[in-house]
Structure 1
Amino acid sequence: MRELRNLDDVHPRNLTRRQHLVLVYLIGLVSIVLLFTGLYYWGMRSLEDRPRSIFQAFNTVIETMTTTGYGADSPWLTPAMNVFVATMQVTGVVIGFITLRVLVIPLFERTPLNLDDRLSIKDEHVVVAEYQRDTEVLLDELEALDIDYVLLESDEAEAKRLSDDGYQAINGDPEERADLDRASIEKASLLITDARDRTASIVLTALEANEDLRVISFTASTRRKAALAEIGVDRSVAPHALIGTRLAEKATTPISVDSAVESKTVAIREILIRRDSPLHGVRVGDSPLANHPNLTLVAGWFDGELRLPASPDDRLTPNTVLVVAGPESAIDDVSSEVAGIRSPRLSTRAAVVVAGLGEGGTAAVEAFPEDVPVTTIDESPDVDPDIIGDVTEPETLHAAKISDASALVVTVDDDATALLAVAMARSIAPDVEILTRVSDTEKASAAFRAGADYVLSIQQVCARLVAAEVYGERMMDPVNQIRLVRGDAVPFVGESLIDARRDTERGWTVVGLSRNGTIYTDEQTTIEPGDEIFVAGSDAALREFKKTVDSS
């Protein structure tokens, strides 16, 4: 019975397509060789009158088809034999190509590929141990900033695909020390983990190999931050909560001013370029905000990326947020004069509507100031929303009084639902500020078309956060990153404010000056002895500014 079962296994019906192809190839090759051997045997006897044995005929056929030679039989006298031999030659070439395609090439394709051989020499690099989002978005961001990395991917097919596309990716289990060693973990400076419940195991294994390793971990919930910190994670990030907080800040909160600045006449504020703004496509350097004599353009957010300072050649598009410093009255005047630009400050009576009370929506609600009324929407009564219902239905939005709200923050989990909610809200309340989160970076443009004013992509934000962390800058925390401080004006005495602002490469800029209790921000004002200057910039840039002042 066992022998019969084995015979059944080689039945053509049980063969794979490749096995069937190889079988047909072999049968065809043997049949052609036998046919040519018989014809050659007959031709040499009947046409050439030079009889050969069947084995001599077989040998000549093989020599001819493999183009290795023709032995002592060449040349042939009759036209028919010459045509026949030529046919064998051509047939041999064709069979050679078929052999490559059917046997040789598949053989090499099945040879195991060692992706490690494609890695460049690593030192002080980033090791990415699993990544649950769009991996190429992250790797493209790292490569754009010339950050060296290795991705350790447990899915063999995905690792090979990324490696074939030119990324520094290898296949392996990041929980295994040997596989981390293949990624040169002992020479790495930073470990990125996004492995859900496997995170603790990966981090502990990596720190055994390199105790000086900095570790960033993506987590689904902020509730795990304490546990991750206990095992050695330097920074844990809950992307949904992070973006929820950021959307809330965009809707309500101007950038903070350092406590060292007591004057209320100078402020830093974010101004959102809305989707219907006439400034679309305008260069930053040509915008009224950049050219205002009393205002200083400190920085700009372009699709969630902070550029400090903003380049004059950058184009203003939906999602652009300009960080402007100067007198509050001047900022208010410019904001109201330029159609389509709305100041993020809320009136005392205007409410904010938050759609989706998951991790992101909850974080957004918690980020709003206490004096801002918030109405929440969710389909699940378990999260205790103010309105229980589908945010894509007009009845739900009307119940939340969307027409009276100043802003709508959309943090639902599904991108399709988010896009429909944005479109529905825009049709009901044309003037409401709509800020939304999407998971897929490619859905950001669709969200704008649906009517959103500001969109953050989880994939893009995570990628940029990782890239920024390599440099020690938390680019997603602008409220804590940009400061306004007083400084000694001695190094700038004799210069006008416009001259003091001209150097855009240093990361800080002179906003104005204080003289005898009066604030001057006009760019033509000349700095005199005894003046104090207001300087805006990141914490790192302001440290460099203080070094400049102290060394002068």
Structure 2
Amino acid sequence: MSLDRWPTEIVRRITKLSIGQRVALYVVIVAGIVSVYTGIYWYGMATYEDRSLSLAGALQTVVQSLTTTGYGQDAPWETTVMNLFTILMQFTGILLLFLLLPLFVVPWFRQFIKRRRIDTVEPLEDHVVISGHTPLVHTFIIEIESHGHQHPYVIIEADRDRAAELRDIGHTVLHGDPEAESDLRKASIEEAQAAVVAGDDQLTLNAALAVRDVAPTVPITATLEDATFREYLHSAGVEYVLQPRHVIGQALASRYAMRTGTPSDRIVILGHGTVGSTVRSALETWGATPSVVDIEAGEHVDIVGDATEKKTLQDAEIEKADAVIISLPEDRQAVLSTLLARDSHSTTNIFVRVTESEAVERVKRAGADYVLELPDIAGRLLAAAVLDEPISATEDDILITRMTDPTGELSAIENDRVVGVTRNNELHLAPEPDFELQQDDLLIYVRE
């Protein structure tokens, strides 16, 4: 390492240390400098100034010099050596205070203050209390802010570092447990307009019960993955139970139907989880006979194999497929399967579900024709449940709205394909033409 780069390299290495490691290193450096300078000063005074000092007296003078508080009874010095050494101690003190202190101690104090700031929030009214920050919650917050609403909100986040990061970028955050009644009270849950619970089903259920215990009248909106939990959430007092995975499955099937116009027996579904099984059921209802590929054997699974391997896709005769619908557990698997499918069939329609927004463009570059993002749909479902106005996608192809005037709004969507309706904690996918919309229904539909 060249001499002109070593200061930068030292700073870079120090900044990689944790706050505790920095403070410990700072203490070691100061203790080492004080010890060495005390020994040198004690020896120099005896050798060059012909004055005998105790080690305690030498230590006192060194500390006074490094902290720029004075030199006590030892000044002035007669010899050049001791005067130069005293100047060295002065510059060392400046270095410790004005260079090393910001690198070591100040970050610790900043973190300490930051942590105190996220343990409490100012009292709020008519706000939304959100249990945890997830990608779908991120979309929900964007929606309520982008529609001109000034709804105050507070996020109860269990991870302290994550809570601090969210506070730094402008969110109102409380570090705490979404299932703890004491933390819910800190978030002024009794005065809230609504509570949003989004996480795994067990967390959702427990957080909803905690909210209902503290605030019996506050409306609760929750997301759900396993449909068998729906009745439990209903018993816990949740007003709106949203099932984004089922909605995405139906939306993918609807988009395929709108693009092709006729049922087909040459559709391949890769992945038979909640989304994949919903797609299969919707297509079968429409009259199509899809072929299902999954890593595990099960009912309705036609081919057992890894959808990211070319042989599995060959077994599924993907080169003959009119459409490929991909819903795999991980986005990297979806990207690879999309590449393989596009390589096998250059003109087939490929529809993909992803779980992170960062994967959307990658999947499109891999060859997907249509991509739905789980957090985006889930976040907009949450926003539609909390807000009384339509919520549309960026590309304006999926719209979610709460019914305030069912008769009037039906005429506006007669040319659209209804994905589903959420009513009284139940999701009605692809309702029949005679299905009557009611007040406060959540309507999800795909537009041409």
Kindly provide the CA deviation profile for residues 324-377 of structure 1, in whole angstroms up to 9, marking residues without a partner as x. Answer: xxxxxxxxxxxxxxxxxxxx2423556533222211111122223734312131
CA distance in 1, matches of 2:162, 2:267: 42
1:160 aligns with 2:161: no
1:251 aligns with 2:253: no
2:220 alignment partner, SS class: strand
CA distance in 1, matches of 2:80, 2:33: 27
Partner of residue 184 from structure 2, selected from 180, 187, 191: 180
Q: What is the match of residue 523 of structure 1?
A: none
- Following superposition, the deviation at residue 473 of structure 1 comes to 4.3
1:368 aligns with 2:283: yes
1:413 aligns with 2:415: no
- Following superposition, the deviation at residue 26 of structure 1 comes to 1.7
1:224 aligns with 2:226: no
2:232 alignment partner, SS class: helix
For 1:230, the aligned partner's letter is S
Q: What is the match of residue 211 of structure 1?
A: 216
Q: Which stretch of structure 1 is more off in the superposition, 350-359 or 244-253?
A: 350-359
1:409 alignment partner, SS class: strand
**Across the two proteins, how many residue pairs are aligned to each other?**
383
- Following superposition, the deviation at residue 98 of structure 1 comes to 7.3
Q: What is the match of residue 357 of structure 2?
A: 441
Q: Which stretch of structure 1 is more off in the superposition, 472-481 or 194-203?
A: 472-481
**Residue 132 of structure 1 contacts residue 195 of structure 1 at CA under 8 Å; is this kept in 2?**
no
For 2:132, the aligned partner's letter is E
For 2:185, the aligned partner's letter is D
Q: What is the match of residue 33 of structure 2?
A: 28
Kindly provide the CA deviation profile for residues 136-171 of structure 1, in whole angstroms up to 9, marking residues without a partner as x. Answer: 555455554554321112222322333334332222
Q: Which stretch of structure 1 is more off in the superposition, 412-421 or 387-396?
A: 387-396
Change beyond 3 A, Cα 1:138–1:36: farther
1:67 aligns with 2:68: yes
CA distance in 1, matches of 2:263, 2:94: 86
For 1:161, the aligned partner's letter is E
Q: What is the match of residue 527 of structure 1?
A: none
**Residue 163 of structure 2 contacts residue 174 of structure 2 at CA under 8 Å; is this kept in 1?**
yes
Change beyond 3 A, Cα 1:114–1:233: same
Q: What is the match of residue 109 of structure 2?
A: 108
Change beyond 3 A, Cα 1:94–1:40: farther
CA distance in 1, matches of 2:281, 2:232: 22
Change beyond 3 A, Cα 1:240–1:59: closer
Identity %: 27
For 2:287, the aligned partner's letter is V
2:249 alignment partner, SS class: helix
CA distance in 1, matches of 2:326, 2:96: 64
Give the structure with the higher percent helix. Answer: 2
**Residue 155 of structure 2 contacts residue 174 of structure 2 at CA under 8 Å; is this kept in 1?**
yes
For 1:187, the aligned partner's letter is E
CA distance in 1, matches of 2:273, 2:67: 71
CA distance in 1, matches of 2:248, 2:353: 7
**Residue 293 of structure 2 contacts residue 316 of structure 2 at CA under 8 Å; is this kept in 1?**
no
Change beyond 3 A, Cα 1:409–1:57: closer
Q: What is the match of residue 422 of structure 1?
A: 338
- Following superposition, the deviation at residue 36 of structure 1 comes to 1.6
Partner of residue 459 from structure 1, selected from 375, 394, 399: 375
Q: What is the match of residue 129 of structure 1?
A: 131
2:34 alignment partner, SS class: helix
**Residue 126 of structure 1 contacts residue 192 of structure 1 at CA under 8 Å; is this kept in 2?**
yes
2:88 alignment partner, SS class: helix
Written as runs of structure 1 = structure 2, the 5 A alignment for 1:257-268 is none
Change beyond 3 A, Cα 1:30–1:98: farther
Query: Normalization by structure 1: what TM-score?
Result: 0.59
Q: What is the match of residue 206 of structure 2?
A: 201
CA distance in 2, matches of 1:478, 1:70: 76
1:412 alignment partner, SS class: coil
CA distance in 1, matches of 2:374, 2:196: 16
**Residue 181 of structure 2 contacts residue 210 of structure 2 at CA under 8 Å; is this kept in 1?**
yes
Consecutive unaligned residues of structure 2, counting only runs of 5 or more, are 1-20, 393-397, 415-436, 440-448
Q: What is the match of residue 86 of structure 1?
A: 87
- Following superposition, the deviation at residue 442 of structure 1 comes to 0.7
Change beyond 3 A, Cα 1:33–1:105: farther
Q: What is the match of residue 425 of structure 2?
A: none
Written as runs of structure 1 = structure 2, the 5 A alignment for 1:493-512 is none
**Residue 130 of structure 1 contacts residue 195 of structure 1 at CA under 8 Å; is this kept in 2?**
no
Query: Normalization by structure 2: what TM-score?
Result: 0.71
CA distance in 1, matches of 2:317, 2:61: 93
1:378 aligns with 2:380: no
For 2:44, the aligned partner's letter is L
Q: What RMSD, in angstroms, separates the aligned Cα atoms of the two structures?
A: 4.0
Kindly provide the CA deviation profile for residues 100-155 of structure 1, in whole angstroms up to 9, marking residues without a partner as x. Answer: 36974476367472234674553222211134557655545555455432111222
1:381 alignment partner, SS class: coil
- Following superposition, the deviation at residue 206 of structure 1 comes to 0.8
- Following superposition, the deviation at residue 399 of structure 1 comes to 5.3
For 1:245, the aligned partner's letter is Q
- Following superposition, the deviation at residue 77 of structure 1 comes to 5.9
1:149 aligns with 2:158: no
For 2:283, the aligned partner's letter is F
Kindly provide the CA deviation profile for residues 409-468 of structure 1, in whole angstroms up to 9, marking residues without a partner as x. Answer: 212222222222222222333332211101121111111111111101112222232233
1:374 alignment partner, SS class: coil
- Following superposition, the deviation at residue 32 of structure 1 comes to 0.7
CA distance in 1, matches of 2:70, 2:172: 49
Change beyond 3 A, Cα 1:240–1:189: same
Q: What is the match of residue 446 of structure 2?
A: none
For 1:87, the aligned partner's letter is L
- Following superposition, the deviation at residue 235 of structure 1 comes to 1.8
For 1:163, the aligned partner's letter is R
CA distance in 2, matches of 1:17, 1:140: 37
CA distance in 1, matches of 2:137, 2:407: 43
Change beyond 3 A, Cα 1:510–1:35: closer
